[in-house]
Structure 1
Amino acid sequence: MAIRRIHVGPRMSGIVINGNNVHLSGMTAAKREGRSVADQTRDILARIDELLADAGTSKEHLVQVNIWLSDIGTFNEMNAVWDQWVSPGNTPARATVEARLALPDIKVEIQVLAALP
Structure 2
Amino acid sequence: MIQRLAEEGRLSGAVVHGGLVYLAGQVADDATLDAEGQTADILRQIDALLAEAGTSKKNLLSVQIILADIRDAPAMNRAWDAWLDPTAKPARMTIQAPLVDPAWRVEITGIAAIAG
TM-score, normalising length from structure 1?
0.95
Q: 1:47 pairs with 45, 70, 74, which one?
A: 45
Q: Could you tell me which residue of structure 2 aligns to residue 22 of structure 1? A: 21
Alignment RMSD (CA, Å): 0.8
User: Percentage identity across aligned positions?
Assistant: 43
- Provide the secondary structure at the position in 2 that maps to 1:65: strand
- Conserved? CA contact 2:68–2:99, under 8 Å: yes
1:13 maps onto 2:9 in alignment = no
Aligned residue type for 1:29:
A
Written as runs of structure 1 = structure 2, the 5 A alignment for 1:61-72 is 61-72=59-70
Q: Could you tell me which residue of structure 2 aligns to residue 91 of structure 1? A: 89
- Cα deviation code 1:69-113 (max 9, x no counterpart): 000011111011101101112000100000000011000000021
- Cα deviation code 1:43-76 (max 9, x no counterpart): 0001111111010000000000000000001111
Q: Could you tell me which residue of structure 1 aligns to residue 111 of structure 2? A: 113
* Structure 1 residue ranges, 4+ long, deviating more than 2 angstroms after superposition: none
Aligned residue type for 1:32:
A
C-alpha deviation, 1:9, in angstroms:
2.4
Query: Partners of 1:11 and 1:83 in 2: how far apart?
Result: 31
Aligned residue type for 1:104:
P
Q: Could you tell me which residue of structure 1 aligns to residue 102 of structure 2? A: 104
Q: 1:76 pairs with 68, 74, 77, which one?
A: 74
How many residue pairs match? The answer is 115
TM-score, normalising length from structure 2?
0.95
Unaligned stretches of 5+ in structure 1? none
